[in-house]
Amino acid sequence: MLFGYARVSTADQNPVHQIDALLRAGVAEDNVHLDHASGAKASRPELDIVLRMLRSGDTLKVTRLDRLSRSVLHLVTLGAELRMRGVGLHVIEQGIDTDTMEGRAMFGMLSVLAELQRELIVANTNDGLASAHARGRVGGRRPKLTADQATLAQQLYDDRTKTVQQIADLFGVPRSTVYGHLDRENTLLRQPKKIVIMKS
């Protein structure tokens, strides 16, 4: 079965072009899902819905990669997840189809770029922390993460490669600062439940 996903960043943007392209690509109107969300916004309810509906043998169609993903790393992670589930991804305007050898090669290249992007952010962050420490800069305002650091923190958390404490240690900030920059809805769902021991 074919599913389509479209996204517009603001209420002023018109999604008609995307929807028409998806319909021309064979997606039934009932299977077109539309989100109104910025590229940086993690919460996309319609994308979450369509991802839950996809089954092995289905194909997800979008007009462009930037309509689907908020970052290269998120795109690669999503592409790998779809492939593992046996779901195809077709990017209409950019001619990417993961059912073809060329399409899979494109995702391979994106994966390398995503890893490089993450390593550069980590390296720059560590350099900045080392420089500040060398100058003896301590105290001051409550520490906050830069936009790149916040993006990396979310990616590390979503990928489950590091705990919140490990991310906090990486950036030299309290856990509360990391929690303040994470997508709150998904973060709360991921927090371990407290175990209450009843005394007899």
Burial class (CB in 10 A: 0-12, 13-18, 19+), 148: middle
pLDDT reported for residue 196: 44
Sketch out the chain's domains with CATH numbers: 2-106 (3.40.50.1390), 115-190 (no CATH)
pLDDT of res. 110: 66
What are the tens digits of pLDDT across the range 103-124? Answer: 777 766 766 665 666 677 777 7
- Mean pLDDT, the chain, rounded, equals 77
Hey, CA dihedral for 75, 81, 85, 86, is it positive or negative?
positive
Burial class (CB in 10 A: 0-12, 13-18, 19+), 71: middle
pTM of the predicted protein model: 0.54
Name the residue among 4, 28, 31, 30 with its Cα closest to residue 18: 4
pLDDT of residue 139 exceeding 50, the answer is: no
As given in the structure block, the two tokens for residue 14 are 């018109």
Largest CA distance in the chain: 67
Q: What is the pLDDT of residues 64-90, one digit of tens each?
A: 888 887 676 777 778 778 888 989 999
Mean pLDDT of 159-165: 80
Average pLDDT over residues 146-173: 81
Q: How high is the pLDDT of residue 189? A: 45
Cα–Cα distance measured from residue 73 to residue 157, given in angstroms and rounded to the nearest whole number? 12
Q: Are 103 and 65 in contact (CB under 8 A)?
A: no
Residue 188 pLDDT exceeds 50: no
| pLDDT reading at 24 higher than 70 | yes
Amino acid identity, position 9: S
Q: Please say if 131 is a catalytic residue.
A: no
- The torsion of the CA quartet 17, 105, 99, 114, rounded to 10 degrees, works out to -60
pLDDT above 60: residue 181: yes
pLDDT top residue among 188 and 72: 72
